Amino acid sequence: MEKEKKTNLLGMTLLQLQQLCTDEGFPRFAAKQLCDWLYKKCTESIDAMTNLSLAQRARLNEVAYIGRTSPERCQVSADGTKKYLFSPGIEAVYIPDDERATLCVSCQVGCKMGCRFCVTGQQGFHGSLAAGDILNQLFAIPEFESLTNVVFMGMGEPMDNLDAVLSACSVLTSDWGLGWSPKRITVSTVGIIPAMQRFIEECQCHLAVSLHNPVPQERQELMPVQKAYPLEQVLALLRRYDWSGQRRLSFEYTMFRGLNDDQAHAARLVEALRGLDCRVNLIRFHESPEAPYKTSAPLTINAFRDYLNRHGVICTIRASRGQDIDAACGLLAGKGR
Ligand code: SF4
């Protein structure tokens, strides 16, 4: 059987592995053993699963494989950020920061959302990743053991590949998987309402919504998704849930000079978020030849932050990392160098 027709064990949930074991006539407890090998011992070979019988390992080798692949290249930024490139065009960014070590993973190659300011969005859509391809980005890097956080903010829209993202989150947070707290994981979205609702109801990980402009017409010019899923409806859905507990709701707001960075926009933003338990992350726009926008001046960004904080919206400015290797927000394009 060719590899393409085999099942990738990496990324499978306990439930899916139980089904596989049932299909293959293995005892049910073998699924738990498989989880241990895959997610606790991080085994790369079926042959190493020594508590399975030789016959079981032989059969597994016929129908399945462990989809572990090494990165093809790694670029290191002057600030210590590393951008890993996996075939075919999958990028992950490792961001060390004092006591934290965050990996920003991709869930698609390219993206369908077409945000006008995003290099990934401009390159079109080339496919969604399976859960195993998402998890491989963690497992395959030398810093895996030291990771403290994962953010789904690389290439692609997580809500457009929700089954795989939910499976990956399940592997990361279940006791049969890596056993991480969901507080260590943040999943971003432009606000695809039906998928976002399912995510909120099925997953406890943090949610980050890309907002970027509180004025509907202006937001639509930046983010075509506004037409199908207006921000007003996105916020109405978010208001139906409680965000005061462990799970955090944040909004990403990229600062574009002269477009969304004045006090009038800050006031509209405060108004839009009224009553929501949330925080806002301001992101300096990373200029690129592909996008016709400029970044706001540092003083303007500070003033915007201060306005929000004065008006009861917790707001911070996200440190910019990895810009010199095109690893900063919105610059991933799967192109390597
Ligand atoms: Fe896709 Fe995110 Fe880029 Fe928008 S910003 S095009 S959702 S990768």
In this predicted model, what pLDDT tens digit does every residue of 19-54 receive, in sequence order? 999 999 999 999 999 999 999 999 999 999 999 999
Residue nearest atom 4 of ligand 1, based on CA coordinates: 115
328 pLDDT band, cuts 50/70/90, is low
Last residue in a domain, options 65, 85, 103: 65
- Residue 118 sits in the same domain as residue 135: yes
CB 208 near ligand 1, within 6 Å: no
The answer to whether position 56 is within a domain reads: yes
Same domain, residue pair 162 and 115: yes
Domain CATH for 152: 3.20.20.70
Question: Rounded to an integer, what distance in angstroms lies between the CA atom of residue 257 and that of residue 265?
Answer: 12
Domain check: are 179 and 83 in the same one?
yes
Residue range 172-227, pLDDT digits in tens: 999 999 999 999 999 999 999 999 999 999 999 999 999 999 999 999 999 999 99
Give a yes or no: residue 143 inside a domain.
yes
* pLDDT classification of 329: cutoffs 50, 70, 90: low
CB count within 10 Å of CB 144 equals 15
Strands (E), the chain: 7-8, 64-65, 73-76, 82-86, 90-97, 100-104, 108-110, 125-128, 149-152, 185-189, 206-210, 249-255, 279-284, 314-317
Residues 17 and 154 in one domain: no
Given the structure tokens 């027709």, which residue do they identify?
Answer: 5
Of the three residues 11, 38, 65, the one that is the final residue of a domain is 65
pLDDT digits (tens, 9 = 90+) for 136-162: 999 999 999 999 999 999 999 999 999
Assign 38 to helix, strand or coil.
Answer: helix
C-beta of 190 in contact with ligand 1 (< 6 A): yes
pTM of the full structure:
0.95
CATH number at residue 48: 1.10.150.530
Per the model's pLDDT, the better-predicted residue between 112 and 333 turns out to be: 112
Residue ending a domain, among 65, 95, 113, is 65
| Ligand 1 midpoint to CA 122 (Å) | 9
Which residue of the set 91, 104, 203, 252 is catalytic?
91
Q: Is residue 101 part of a domain?
A: yes
| pLDDT at site 279 | 98
132 and 175: one domain? yes
Domain-located, residue 26: yes
pLDDT at 134: 98
Q: Residue 322 C-alpha to ligand 1 middle, in angstroms?
A: 18
Same domain, 21 and 131: no
What does residue 92 show for φ and ψ, rounded to 5 degrees?
-135, 145
User: 32 and 176 share a domain?
Assistant: no
Same domain for 301 and 157?
Answer: yes
201 catalytic residue (yes or no): no
329 lines ligand 1 (CB under 6 A): no
- Has residue 123 got a pLDDT over 90? no
In a domain, residue 332? The reply is no
Transcribe 179-226 into DSSP letters: ---GGGEEEEES--HHHHHHHHHH--SEEEEE---SSHHHHHHH-THH
The answer on pLDDT for 69 being more than 60 is yes
More confident residue, 306 or 5: 306
Residues 282 and 161 in one domain: yes
Q: Is residue 337 part of a domain?
A: no
* Predicted pLDDT at 330: 66
Is the per-residue pLDDT at 335 higher than 50?
Answer: no
Q: Within a domain: residue 331? A: no
Three-state SS for 83?
strand
CB atoms within 10 A of CB 108: 25
Could you tell me if 120 and 204 lie in one domain? yes
Question: Tens digits of per-residue pLDDT, 256-272?
Answer: 999 999 999 999 999 99
Is 111 a member of any domain? yes
Looking at the structure, do residues 59 and 146 belong to the same domain, yes or no? no
Say how many domains are in the chain.
2
Q: Residue 218: which domain range?
A: 73-325
168 and 308 together in one domain: yes
- The set of residues, in sequence order, having a beta carbon less than 8 Å from that of 97 and lying 6+ positions away, is 319, 321
> Is residue 286 within 8 Å of residue 331, measured between CB atoms?
yes
State yes or no: is 91 an active-site residue. yes
pLDDT reading at 122 higher than 70: yes
pLDDT value for 336: 37
**Percentage of residues of the chain with pLDDT beyond 90:** 88
Across the chain, mean pLDDT equals 94
